[in-house]
Amino acid sequence: MNKKLSMLLPVIATCGLLAGCGTDYYTKDSTVFVAKNGSVVSTDVEDFDTATYKQDDLQSYVDKSIDDYNKKNDGSVKLKKLTVEKKKASLTMSYASTDEYTDFNGTKLFSGTIAEALAAGYDFKTDFAAIDDGKAKKCETSEFLDENGYKVVIYEGSSNLHVKGKILYASVDNVKLVDDNTVAIGDKYSMLASQPTGTESVTEGTEAVKSDATEGTENGADDSVSDDDILNSVKEDNEVTFDFDSDEDNSVPVSYVTYVIYK
């Protein structure tokens, strides 16, 4: 989501970072799902102060933000689902491309071949690990930079990252392997110190969405989320507004630059 929208959930919660998922995706960790064609589905969740705010207020704000963006940019951002349950707000959205995700959220996300990433200015100047049978081993970039058949996702955020394919290499710092398709991102992680245990909560979600968030988007972004999935809100005259232009210091989620190479 864009920077103002991304700050909405922490403001409502008056705490912390995004750390969850949308109901449709059955994952307990915020996750960005990237299909091979570059379309994206993202899911975020945050504590929601139901004593202070109403779901309708959040619904109206999200709907307006998406509508304004799409009208201004001829965009195709869609709200798949927004729910508030047990004081948790879950938000699932789809984007036609990684460029649209980047533009709307203010969070960089790239998907393409390694050659396309190099041409776009990404230098791959970080430590990498090769992934084999769920185990990570430090490697040199020379092992994969010239491989034409590999795809790469480069993400500057703090959500988990799921790709449609088997992860072969990944950057080491702040990254943890969850399963063959997913990495977790955080300041306490290192690819060389982490191995998948099969118990991470995101595993449920990535298994559940293999045919939904990724395979479904292979045929184009319009197929990834149908019009029936979009939740339309009724805007009221007494709609709550959220002021992000004040001088008040708002917490901003920490982000990291993560490379994932897969096939």
User: Using 50, 70 and 90 to split pLDDT, how confident is the model at 194?
Assistant: low
**Over 60: is that where the pLDDT of 146 sits?**
yes
Dump pLDDT digits (tens) for 103-121: 999 999 999 999 999 999 9
How confident is the model at residue 216, as a pLDDT?
A: 39
What percentage of the chain exceeds 90 in pLDDT? 52
How confident is the model at residue 112, as a pLDDT?
A: 97
* pTM to 2 decimal places: 0.72
Largest CA-CA distance found in the chain, in angstroms, rounded = 60
Indicate the Cα dihedral angle 40, 212, 32, 25, nearest 10°. Answer: 140
Extract the tokens encoding 167.
Answer: 């992860």
